[in-house]
Amino acid sequence: MKVLVVNAGSSSLKYQLFDMDTEEVIAKGNAERIGLDGSFLKHKAKGVETILSKVLTNHAEAIKLILDTLVDAQIGVIKSIDEIDAIGHRVVHGGSEYTKPTLVNQKVIDDLRGLVDFAPVHAIPNTDGIIGCVQVAPQIPNVTVFDTAFHSTMPDYAYLYGIPMEYYRDYAVRRYGAHGTSHKFVGQKLAEYMGVPFDKCKLITCHIGNGSSITAIKDGKCIDTSMGFTPLEGLIMGTRCGDIDANVIQFLCKKTGLDVNQVTDILNKKSGLLGITERSSDMRDICAMYEKGDKAAVLALEMLAYRIKKYIGAYAAALDGVDGICFTAGIGENTPELREMVLTGLKYLGIKFDKDANYSIPRGEDGLLTSKDSAIPVYVISTNEELAIAKETVELVSNLKK
């Protein structure tokens, strides 16, 4: 079975074509600058990368170019698009209604467009990507896989805010979480490494990337996660502030003369690691600054590590104990300095950090960060959201055929 996974952003559209019999990626790439001058497609297959410059005014044109490229006699990998059994779409927000992978029809498209207030940056491009596929290849089933879905099992006392209930009833203001596909994927791998069934253990998964979140998983189900109504809540991120006293917004409006939209924009786009270091949101830059002893970089890492520790502690309490922890995503997988800061401060949980292992696990590989006699094993695990989406897509499409 072949599955195309699509991740549509506002001006880009990433794709991976999987052969699901082997779980191998047979082609992947990115259509960039969609709707802008200088649009192009970067396509990689059989170890060769090709750049194709072409005017792409919308997502449908990008999808058409991708499908044409996949069947191209020279750089393609399949003979006909009929070889693609299904297309799986990453969708950032499913609201309260969409809690499982869903086969696309017109109602789904209309509903997703209506979720723009929940995912202001992603809802429209995600939907444009789906519409593009439906237009260009109506014969291929499209499946939406939601970043919020894995968190739909949170109990009400965890997902509700302490604000008047009418706002939940009237406007669905509640915590939804994000990165659910990744948390589930690495949680399942963590349980596998620990040799226990995923549905019979208590896990904490730390997805630390440009956007970051931590999830508490009990018996295979999410019981709490650090992101909230939008991906602004929780940890300090690349450019997002994470948890903050809501009164700061009104105070800053008063002091600076900025309006509420401008301050909210600052909290989303100019805060976090960027705001603290006043130079970069990118952990590679911050690590380089940290190595030179840059005080702002040291502070940024300490603040991030401290907040990760607080969430691990909170979730160990929420779970009433924890059997395993893992780190994943761009920063979690690649920044041993940060992992050391977090893991040397969790002795009360019986965690015995293995410093040598932490610094010697090759980038991109999974490994154990604690010694054999640690009460709780902690792993670094590479996430693979595209493969997870492809698997969910196969499951849904296979069930349809039964």
For ligand AMP, which stretch binds (CB under 6 A), given 60-68, 135-143, 156-164, 278-286? 278-286
> Could you tell me which residues are beta bridge partners of residue 328?
207
Active site residue 147: yes
As a dihedral over the C-alpha atoms of residue 160, residue 163, residue 166, residue 171, rounded to 10 degrees, the angle is: -60
Contact 205, 222 (CB under 8 A): no
Q: Can you tell me which of 283, 301, 322, 381 binds ligand AMP, judged by CB under 6 A?
A: 283
Nearer to ligand AMP by Cβ, of 28 and 218: the residue is: 28
Q: Can you tell me which of 282, 302, 340, 366 binds ligand AMP, judged by CB under 6 A?
A: 282
Q: For residues 370 and 380, what is the distance between their CA atoms, to the nearest angstrom? A: 10
Nearer to ligand AMP by Cβ, of 238 and 242: the residue is: 238
Nearer to ligand AMP by Cβ, of 12 and 334: the residue is: 334
Minimum CB–partner distance for residue 383 and ligand AMP (Å): 7
Half-sphere exposure of 348 (CA within 13 A, CB side): 9
Question: 76-115 mask for ligand AMP (x: CB under 6 A)?
Answer: ----------------------------------------
Nearer to ligand AMP by Cβ, of 79 and 284: the residue is: 284
> Could you tell me which residues are beta bridge partners of residue 42?
30, 51
Q: Can you tell me which of 9, 129, 209, 336 binds ligand AMP, judged by CB under 6 A?
A: 209
Q: For residues 94 and 122, what is the distance between their CA atoms, to the nearest angstrom? A: 11
Both tokens assigned to 4: 């195309």
Site for ligand AMP in 211-240 (CB under 6 A): 238
Describe the chain by its helix, strand, coil percentages, rounded to 5: 45, 20, 40
Q: State the alpha helices, DSSP H only, in 120-227.
A: 123-136, 156-159, 165-171, 180-194
Biggest distance spanned by C-alpha atoms of the chain: 62
Size of the site for ligand AMP (CB under 6 A): 12
Question: 295-334 mask for ligand AMP (x: CB under 6 A)?
Answer: ----------------------------------xxx--x
Q: Which residue is nearest to ligand AMP (CB)?
A: 330
Q: For residues 312 and 324, what is the distance between their CA atoms, to the nearest angstrom? A: 11
Q: Which of 147, 224, 323, 354 is catalytic?
A: 147
Minimum CB–partner distance for residue 332 and ligand AMP (Å): 8
Q: What is the DSSP-derived secondary structure letter of residue 86?
A: E
φ, ψ (nearest 5 deg) of residue 254: -65, -45
Q: Can you tell me which of 58, 96, 99, 210 binds ligand AMP, judged by CB under 6 A?
A: 210
Residue 284 binds to ligand AMP (criterion: CB under 6 A): yes
Task: Give the closest residue to 124 by CA, choosing from 151, 91, 159.
Answer: 91
Residue 180 binds to ligand AMP (criterion: CB under 6 A): no
Residues making contact with ligand AMP (CB under 6 A)? 209-210, 238, 282-284, 287, 329-331, 334-335
> Which residues have a catalytic role annotated?
147
